[in-house]
Amino acid sequence: MSKQETINSSMEVEHWDQIIEPKGKLLELNLKEVWRYRDLLWLFVKRDFSAQYKQTILGPLWHFIQPIFTTIVFLLVFTKIANIPTDGIHPILFYMSGITIWNYFSSCLTATSNTFVANAGIFGKVYFPRLVIPLSTVLSNIIKFGIQFLLLLVLISYYAVKNQNFHFGTSWLIIPLLVIMMAGMGFGLGIIISSLTTKYRDFTVLIGFTVQLLMYATPVAYPLSFLKDKSYAAWITWNPLTPIVEAFRFALFGTGSADITGLLYSGGFIVLVVFFGMLIFSKVERSFMDTV
């Protein structure tokens, strides 16, 4: 090959299947790339669900056992001992409904908050959009929510036949929206915390304790009406999770009312949390391998 041919050959434009470039813009989220890796996303969803109870005796039955035992504890403590009313809803259904929607949020939050630390080995070996991991966690937990929601429907049907009282109307149509809102809340807060844990491991220790405290600051084990004369009621009302839990019970049982203003407030909070969470996550993923 002559010298001229060598030069011409080197000047030919090479075509690559993928070009990995450093991110320079703050608002560069590159969501199209996440969509391109949707097959990998579904693989992670299957992995998370199948591996969650691998090498356990009861396996997926834990999805039923956990809410049942929590409901029994709430029934004993809040109804039998504290004598807290449940707004005319049967106590078992009241607690089970709150636990079901809360478990989905807490599962999404605790799992996504450990994204960088738990998956550092994978991130250090192969490239893919890091946002795929927390998204797969949110989607895999929807299966767990579906199982617990099915248990809730069985109990609702049982007490409906027993008491000849069953509410089923257009209010049920907002349930998917409420689940999406809970997913967004858990996802947004989770990726913010996961970004902070790359430098500050204290958040890993505090997250479990904080989620437990947050549950008692949300009307999961008591109705919001019970706090109407309490001095701290305003703090519970400002909790963006409160309108979602209250609306979930309203949709199921038709008791009380859905606070539209509160839901709009929660929706706005979720949009901000998800947006800023993705910005922080996108920034941290560039250099987290140096600190994790």
pLDDT tens column, 251-270: 998 876 678 999 999 999 99
**Quick one: pLDDT band at residue 163, thresholds 50, 70, 90?**
confident
Domain ranges within the chain, ordered by starting residue: 30-290
* DSSP code at position 26: T
- pLDDT value at 184 more than 90: yes
The CA-to-CA distance between both ends of the chain, in Å, stands at 50
Q: Which residues contact 104 (CB under 8 A, 6 or more apart)?
A: 141, 142, 144, 145, 148, 179, 182, 183, 186
pLDDT tens column, 28-87: 566 777 788 888 888 888 877 777 666 555 666 777 888 899 999 999 999 888 888 888
Residue, of 285 and 2, whose pLDDT is higher: 285
Sign of the alpha-carbon torsion through 132, 135, 139, 140: positive
**What is the reported pLDDT for 17?**
61
Q: Which residues contact 260 (CB under 8 A, 6 or more apart)?
A: none
**Quick one: pLDDT band at residue 287, thresholds 50, 70, 90?**
low
CA quadruple 257, 260, 261, 266: dihedral, nearest 10: 100
Which of these, 5, 46, 268, lies nearest to 136 by C-alpha position?
46
Sign of the alpha-carbon torsion through 103, 107, 108, 109: positive
**What is the reported pLDDT for 122?**
78
Whole-Å CA distances, 11 to 14, 15, 18, 93, 141:
9, 12, 20, 72, 51
Segment 271-289 mean pLDDT: 82
Give phi and psi for 124, each to the nearest 5: -80, -5
Find tokens 């519970």 and name the residue: 236
Which of these, 171, 150, 193, 188, lies nearest to 270 by C-alpha position?
188
pTM recorded for the entire structure: 0.83
The token pair that represents 231 in the structure block? 């001095």
**Quick one: pLDDT band at residue 7, thresholds 50, 70, 90?**
very low
